[in-house]
Chains A and B, each alone.
Chain A
Amino acid sequence: MPIQVLMPALSPTMEKGNLAKWLKKEGELIKSGDVIAEIETDKATMEVEATDEGTLGKILIPEGTADVAVNTPIATILADGESASDLAKAASPAKQEKAAESAPPAAAKTEAPAPKAEEKTPAAPKAVSEPEPEVPAGTEMMTQTIREALRDAMAEEMRRDPDVFLIGEEVAEYQGAYKVSQGLLQEFGARRVIDTPITEHGFAGIGIGAAMAGLKPVVEFMTFNFAMQAMDQLINSAAKTLYMSGGQMGCSIVFRGPNGAAARVAAQHSQDYSSWYSHIPGLKVVAPFSAADYKGLLKAAIRDPNPVIFLENEVLYGHSGEVPKLDDYIVPIGKARVARKGQHVTIISWSNGMTYSLKAADELAKEGIEAEVVDLRTLRPMDTETIVASIQKTGRAVTVEEGWQQSGVGAEIAARIMEHAFDYLDAPVARVSGKDVPMPYAANLEKMALPSVAEVVEAAKAVCYR
């Protein structure tokens, strides 16, 4: 029976691709291993090799077709002795059967003298955030993927300041493991776009040292999972030096890369580090959701005189959004954004957690619950004011994060709400989060381990007593 060639999945997150080119014609002989077609994903152009032998019977999807879903039959291969008349009975490879999914069952005495009254620990100063710059009415917008917005932010800052450079694994010749640095090597050359060996601890330290000497490095971690190798330098050197030197010497440096779960890459490659970095005084931590924020906040991070941890999300890289067409679009660090207005309940999230939150708000609206959705954008310094203002209006709050609950960012938000808006609360704060387990690989378990729209809806209703 003729064999169907299916549109292959070429990366963990690929759902569709463009059939760029056929390299074989109908009737041509094919050996296993021959390149038969080229397929464009959002990351790269890939060659498709034949895994079967025979003659290319029929091309089902012509070249130039965009957005072909994974697993769509794209051609048939005829085995020895078969002819075009056999095409009708082309067998499609066994469909993946889906296993049924259901939710799982679910006082020491010290010798030290007591501090004198005048030595009372002073109150921590309030973080003051700059007002959000108004995008002038009538500003032209352009649709960009988040990947492009990040690249443009770096390119603009590199044009503006010769001390800014990019360093990391596969950032230059490979154009970025996730293609975020596409074209930067070509524009800025190998002096400023630098490939490193796989040595996170070493190149993070080199970046920090260069920043201590006044340069402004952007250090890319292929993913934040690998930044754990460099954790000591990030915390002990980058975050603390300004303080330890009495303000003489700090470092203006950005550490950026994808954070959180991708798809099916299992425990060691799927972790949300939001709460880890948000714990550390001396670091600023940014985790945007929209394309415009990715652009404006990365530019702000590169200009910031402090070490900034810039948490991106691989799942979002291919998403598009409107970005203002301005020469210098900067979004200030430390300012949350009300992404959707509502009066019944406040949903607070950031980064990819916003995907669940906004969808849940749509669902809730159908049932007459108007949710206000706050996109934190910056985790440290945290914009308590915007959160509190919303709670004063709604009296109810749900936090949404991919990370774990214990000592998580949601726990911190709940504590702040309790401290600053206790009297306004009509229900205890609810937390939706990743489940308290390392990320499983199996598709069904992975889905359960992550937060879901349904869980956000359920939590919102629960705090509304509905």
Chain B
Amino acid sequence: MAAPKKSVTKEAGQEKGNGSPPEFTREQELRALRDMLLIRRFEEKAGQLYGMGAIGGFCHLYIGQEAVVVGMQMTLKKGDQVITGYRDHGHMLACGMDPKGVMAELTGRRGGYSKGKGGSMHMFSVAEHFYGGHGIVGAQVSLGTGLAFANRYRENDFVSLAYFGDGAANQGQVYESFNMAELWKLPVVYIIENNRYAMGTSVTRSSAQTDFSKRGLSFNIPGQQVDGMDVRAVKAAGDEAVAWCRAGKGPYILEMQTYRYRGHSMSDPAKYRTREEVEKVRHDQDPIEQVRNRLLAGGVSEQDLKSIDGEVRDIINGAADFAQHDPEPDPSELYTDVYR
């Protein structure tokens, strides 16, 4: 018998309209601020290093979307797994991976998480339960479902978070995974980071159903649309979804409505949207500014916030410094790690 279902899609849209999400404690606000700042400053630095030629290939920045991973990470316990695509720097930092190791992977040095062999799009940390870092659009969705399969198989109560984009949401294997996940009640939260564009293609030009929370409807998977620019809303929806999965009720879909400020990758001229559109989101909805303003209104001093900013900048400068001075991999590494 199927477990009783919360038929969420429709009501969730309305839920969202009804007032703001539950307040954060001051500790939560401060943690969210620090974690989001860490990602923002890291990405700004990565952009700079790319321009200098220290980072090569593709480099996809997460600036603007920070509230999504930071809010979701607040719902997890140690042992829950995370997997995503190539826009992965933010996810790794949120999982607690060392900015030095991430930045050194971007510059292709031996101290990087993949010893310099993977680069920006392919990084992993078994210790932090971060399973990548995948370059092929949509592949992580089946893989993330497989992580959940392993949890179910071992009868533990860990949950897998599979992040993917609005563009990836059109790949066939996503729906093959949805079907099996619900059929076998696998504990996976599908997090669709709807940043409105897949490269230069807007959601409305690629998707027949643009309400991504409904994408699991025909498989009976519940879904919610979430304001992905408000870290509290992310956390609240994430709590529900993770609890649903942990209770053995099967998968859950969260559509995070968010926005990327930068081009798709460093080589995207971004002619498919106006500067005004970007400026408006930045000005009205910036996830970091929202928290900062609430903290200031709540009596935290400008000075305190400055010192958080300073601490984060030091970490990032240290990471950039390490990543530029760490040596390249030893040539003997060319033939290692093909088999074990």
Contacts and interface: CB of A to CB of B under 8 A. Distances in A.
Contacts of A101: 328, 331
B328 A268 contact: no
B334 A104 contact: yes
A8 B109 CA distance: 21
B52 interface: yes
Interface string B299-340: 000000000000000000000000011011101111100100
Given A198-B137, A199-B170, A449 B205 contact: no
Contact of A173 (B116, B137, B272): B272
B332 A264 contact: no
Nearest to A96: B54
A249 interface: no
Nearest to B165: A198
Contacts of B206: 195-198
Nearest to A38: B269
B43 to A, nearest CB: 12
Given A70-B53, A105-B332, A443-B108, A99 B327 contact: yes
Interface string A196-234: 111101100000000000000000000001101100000
A177 B199 contact: yes
Given A71-B53, A96-B53, A445 B117 contact: yes
B160 to A, nearest CB: 21
Q: Contact residue range for chain A?
A: 35 or more
B82 to A, nearest CB: 19
Contacts of B328: 99, 101, 442-445
Given A266-B121, A266-B122, A448-B331, A436 B338 contact: yes
A202 B172 contact: yes
A225 B136 contact: yes
B200 interface: yes
Contact of B122 (A35, A44, A195, A268): A268
Interface string A3-41: 000101111101000000000000000000001000001
B146 interface: no
A195 B205 contact: yes
A269 B171 contact: no
A264 B170 contact: no
B331 A441 contact: no
B283 to A, nearest CB: 12
B201 A441 contact: no
A104 B324 contact: no
Contacts of B120: 441
B48 interface: yes
Interface in B194-208: 198-201, 205-207
A226 B136 CA distance: 7
Interface in B166-196: 167-168, 170-172
Contacts of A45: 269
Contacts of A435: 334-335
Contacts of B50: 8-9
B250 interface: no
A94 B48 CA distance: 12
Nearest to B202: A173
Contacts of A10: 266-267
Interface string A261-277: 01111111100000000
A229 B56 contact: no
Nearest to A10: B267
A8 to B, nearest CB: 4
A440 B105 CA distance: 11
Given A96-B53, A263-B57, A265-B57, A51 B331 contact: no
A43 interface: yes
A11 B57 CA distance: 7
A445 B331 contact: yes
A442 B267 contact: no
Interface string B68-85: 000000000000000000
Interface residues of B, number: 56
Nearest to A101: B331
Contacts of A11: 266-267
A93 B321 CA distance: 12
A101 B275 CA distance: 44
A441 B51 contact: no
Contacts of B199: 169-170, 174, 177
A256 to B, nearest CB: 19
B334 A264 contact: no
A248 interface: no
A453 to B, nearest CB: 19
A79 B271 CA distance: 31
B338 A437 contact: yes
B289 interface: no
Contacts of B117: 266-267, 440-442, 445
Centre residue among A101, A267, A441 by max chain B CB count within 10 A: A441
A70 B118 CA distance: 24
B122 A267 contact: yes
A9 B118 CA distance: 20
A236 interface: no
Nearest to B114: A441
B269 A440 contact: no
A195 to B, nearest CB: 6
A438 interface: yes
B119 interface: yes
Contacts of A41: 267
Contacts of A229: 136, 138, 171
Nearest to B324: A94
B51 A102 contact: no
A37 B335 CA distance: 43
B21 interface: no
B334 A445 contact: yes
The 7 closest A-B pairs by CB, nearest first: A441-B119, A264-B56, A264-B57, A11-B267, A8-B51, A268-B135, A442-B116
Interface of A: 6, 8-12, 14, 35, 41, 43-47, 51, 70-71, 93-94, 96-97, 99, 101-105, 169-170, 173-174, 177, 195-199, 201-202, 225-226, 228-229, 262-269, 435-438, 440-445, 448-449
Given A195-B205, A226-B136, 11 more contacts: A10-B267, A11-B266, A44-B267, A93-B52, A105-B331, A198-B198, A263-B56, A265-B58, A267-B118, A267-B135, A441-B122
7 contacts: A170-B201, A197-B201, A266-B122, A267-B135, A435-B335, A445-B329, A445-B334
